[in-house]
Every structure is written in structure tokens, then in C-alpha cells.
Chains A and B, each alone.
Chain A
Amino acid sequence: MLQKEKTDNYSIEVRNLTKKFGGFTAVDNISFSVKRGETFAFLGPNGAGKTTTIKMLTTLLRPTTGTMLVNGYDPISNQDAVRRSFGIVFQDPSLDDELTAYENMEFHGVLYKVPDKILKNKIQELLNFVELWDRKNDAVKHFSGGMKRRLEIARGLLHTPEVLFMDEPTIGLDPQTRNSIWKYLKDLNGTAGITVFFTTHYMDEAERVADRVAIIDQGKIVAEGSPQDLKKTTGTKTLEEAFLSLTGKKIREEESGSIDQMRMNRKMWSR
């Protein structure tokens, strides 16, 4: 059993976590921990179970078996405490397109009970940071993909979470934006001690920013450690080579689950 005292140094603790969809095991008995203030990359091929794991940690899905602690609280029995302590950038879009950038932020601030006095300043600060302050009164439906992504990242930080989950946050972002966002997060990391748990398919990015990395393949964690550790144990020069040597070169045939179907639908809709 996981206990609160023991976990004070950890932001996230996962023990023997499993998620089955019908007969299919998407996450297969995984265990790992993330230290407070760490930047942790959760890597794996398509369909490995990354998003499913994040959904369980963030109270969106109930695990089949296993235990978790996020910021010391159980996402199953203490949902509200967990929800207050994390921010999230989802893999798929999650903005209200009909609302403006400002209204999306405001909506989030109210749901997270950010005090009124702080809220306005905080929204301005974050929208300035992602360079959307000038566009604050434009409907999100007129934004480019990168602008939407930036807005989602700003929104995820609005309630000053202790843990930030980001599922492929930098997808579709240009290198400038990507760098400035990581610089900002690294600063937050230093000043506020925020823990960052993220997934990405850009191995160079993971190598650059992550303190530690876990690699998941077909629902199982196959390696865990600092990027240096992984390169050393696999005898490779880059994290990308280490990743390929650990997960094989074969392209994953993604079962076209409902999520993927929806992703496709969305692409069609947004045309």
C-alpha cells in the first residue's frame, strides 16, 4: 500500500497499474514514480498506452487494477484533491471553439476557483507569455493549430498546478515556440518546483528537457532512467537510437479504437 508520508518526495507514484478495454490490455501492470520538481518524459510508440495512463492519473478513466498517487492523493478515492493539484494539456484539442481565447481562460479560472483579483492578472500574464494577448478577444475557431496549442498550455498553467501533465504538447508547434515554452516550463520548474510529466514523439526534445524518462511499449514499461542511463545501457549515442533499440523498428499497427476513430472524425470536421 502507498502511504502519504512515504510519498512526500514524490509527485506521482504508480504501482501495478493495469487497464483493460474488454479483453485488450492497454496498460499492463506498470509501476514508476516521479519525484517532486522533476521533468519526466513518458515515451513509447503509437498505441503503447501513454494516453491511457495519463487518463487514469487524471481521473478520467478508472484503472482495472493497481494503485496511484498524484501529489499524495488517490485519483480514485480522492478525485477533487487530485484535480485541484494538476493541470493538463490533452493530446487532442479541448478548447471551446465558439468562445474567445480570454473566455476559455476565464471559464477555466472559474472552474478552478482562482480568486477574481488574481485571475485577470494571471490570464494577462499567461496570454502574454504565449503571445496571444493581442488576440484575446478572437474566437478560438479562427486560430491556427499552433495558436490553439499555445492557448491550451497557458490554460493548463492558469491555476498554478503542482503537477503538469502534457500529452504531446509540442505537436504542431514551430521550433521557436517549442523552445520558448520549454524555457518557460524549466523556469517554473526552478522557481515554483512544478513537476512536469509529458509525452512526445520527438526524442531530441525528450533528451534535451527530461530529467528522467520511462519507455512504455505495448502497455509495459521496458526501460526507465535518465537519458544518459538509457544511452549507456543500450550502448547508443542518442535517445532516439536508445528508443529504437528498446522498442524495435517495427511500425505499430494501431488498433483503430474509438479514440483513433474520433481523432480521424475530428480531422474531417475541422476541414
Chain B
Amino acid sequence: MIRTIYILWLRQLKRYVRSRSRIIGSLGQPLLFLLALGYGFGPVFQKAGQGNYLEFLAPGVIAMSILFTAIFSGMEIIWDKQFGFLKETLVAPVSRLNIMIGRTLGGATVATLQGIIVFFISIAAGFRPTSLTFLPVAFLIMALTALLFTAMGTAIASLLEDMQGFQMIMNFLVMPIFFLSGALFPLAGLPSSIFIAASANPLTYGVDGLRGGLGGQMHFGFGIDLAVLTGVTVLFLVIGSYLFSKIEI
């Protein structure tokens, strides 16, 4: 069982390491966000009495890259469906649950690594964590966020036949999750409708926890963040496993 999970995990990692264009491409975007937004909105943010925008933004951009990588990793199942490899795993004498766990852990590992790389990129871009006391918590939050959204991607991908739905998912699910998460703006003092949307968004708690873990100002606190992230992760793992077990080819 462990070996099954391990080999599926390893496959995700190998695929990630070998797709250099994907790595480079996915690092360019966070860098652009950090430089353009971080320095572009910096003066306005400062004037509004909110402090240094780059300090505020960096955890949000780290969370963003974890979100995108995780969803994409989860949705790789569609690729496997289209290119036929999924059949190979589905006729093997191993439980679907183990297949799902292995590839979800693999995807989550990839997304966490991506988050760590972006963490270093943001330091290169000028981000300075004010305290490193909670750094381990920050990594825990990264891993949880990665797991949560990989499981979400798996669940969605189990329902889709081909890549045609991918754009729609990006535009109507992933982008709203990102923009309504507090990654780009503080949650305090928002219009209540936006605040409600943000509170219902699991990424919000990932961003909040990450910000706190890197020494920034938190809105909810570690307790709530970790509880929500864990709960929603378990929920998506259950839903994802169920939908994955129902795939027919």
C-alpha cells in the first residue's frame, strides 16, 4: 500500500522536475506580481497608513502560486485521461483510494515546493519576514493549503471529460478564489459582501496563516486558520476520493 502511494507520489514529482518550462513559467508570474504590484501599489498603501505593501503582499503571492500549482496538479488527471495513462492505473489491483492519495500527496508536495521557491523569490524581490519564530507554522500552512487545493483539483478533474472545461474552471473558480482571499488587500474594513465571500473562501485562511507565520498581521489567528484549512482539506479529500472512485473510462 505504502509502495503504491510512494510510486504515484514519485511520478508526480518526476513529472514536475522534468517540465522545466512549466517551472520557469510558474515562477515568472509571482515575480511579476511582486514587482509590479508590490512596488506599484507600495506608495498608495503606505499613504493609507497600512505600512509596506511588499511585506503584506508576499505571503499572498506565495499562496497564489501554491493555489495555481495545486489545482493544476490535481487537474492533471484530465491529461492522464486524455493521453490514456489513467487506464493503466485504473486496471491495476490497487484501491482507487490509494491511487488518489498517492497522486494528491505528489501534487501537494509539488505545490509546497513551488511555494517555498516563491518564498525565496520574494526575499530576492525585497520581502523581509519580520519574525522567523513561526516559520515552521508557515510551512505547515503552505502544505495544508497545497493539499487542500490539489484535492479540489482532483475532485473537479474527476468530473470533467477533457481539457475544454479547464478555462472555465480557471476563470470562474480559481481566479475568484485568488482575488477574494485577502492575498492582495487587507480584510479589515471591507464592504460586508466582499468580506463574507472572503470568509467563505478557504484560501483566505491559508493567506492569513501564512502572513502570520511570516511575522505579519493576522486577521483570524492560527487557531481558526488551521482548523478551517484542516476541515476543508479533509472534506475535499473525501469528495475527491469518492468522485475519483466513480470514474469510468
Report A's interface with B, CB cutoff 8 A. 55, 58-62, 80, 83-84, 86, 88, 90, 92-99, 103, 106-108, 110-113, 139, 258, 262, 265-266, 269
B92 at the interface (CB under 8 A from A): yes
Q: A110-B7, A266-B82, A266-B83 are in contact. Are A98 and B162 (CB under 8 A)?
A: no
> What are 29 A-B contacts with C-beta separation under 8 Å?
A59-B90, A60-B87, A60-B90, A60-B249, A62-B248, A83-B91, A84-B93, A86-B91, A88-B91, A90-B84, A90-B88, A93-B83, A94-B84, A94-B87, A95-B85, A96-B15, A97-B83, A98-B15, A98-B18, A98-B19, A99-B14, A99-B15, A106-B7, A108-B92, A110-B3, A112-B92, A112-B93, A262-B82, A265-B82
Residues of B within 8 A of A262 (CB): 82, 162
Q: Which residue of B lies closest to A81 (CB)?
A: B93
| Chain B nearest CB, measured from A81 CB (Å) | 8
Q: Looking across the interface, which residue of chain A has its beta carbon closest to that of B161? A: A258
- Cα separation A187 to B213 with both chains bound (whole Å): 64
Contact B87 A96 (CB under 8 A): no
A60 touches B248 (CB 8 A): yes
User: Which residue from B6, B18, B94, B249 sits with its C-beta under 8 Å from A61?
Assistant: B249
| Complex Cα spacing A112 to B161, Å | 27
Answer whether residue B4 sits at the interface, using C-beta atoms and an 8 A cutoff. Answer: yes
Residues of A within 8 A of B19 (CB): 98
Decide: A55 near B249, CB < 8 A? Known: A92-B84, A99-B14, A110-B4. Answer: yes
B41, chain A: closest CB distance, angstroms: 39
Contacts of A106 in B (CB 8 A): 7
Taking A60-B249, A92-B84, A99-B15 as given, write out 16 further A-B residue pairs in contact, using a Cβ cutoff of 8 Å, ordered by the A residue number: A55-B249, A59-B90, A90-B88, A95-B88, A98-B14, A98-B15, A99-B14, A107-B11, A110-B4, A110-B6, A110-B7, A111-B7, A111-B92, A113-B3, A258-B161, A266-B82
Top 7 nearest A-B pairs by Cβ distance? A83-B93, A111-B92, A94-B84, A110-B7, A84-B93, A93-B84, A94-B88
B89 is an interface residue with CB less than 8 A from chain A: yes
Contacts of B89 in A (CB 8 A): 111
Residues of B within 8 A of A61 (CB): 248-249
Q: How far is the CB of B159 from chain A (nearest CB, A)?
A: 14
Q: What is the bound-complex CA distance between A86 and B15, given in angstroms?
A: 28
Report A-chain residues with C-beta under 8 Å of the C-beta of B162. 262, 265
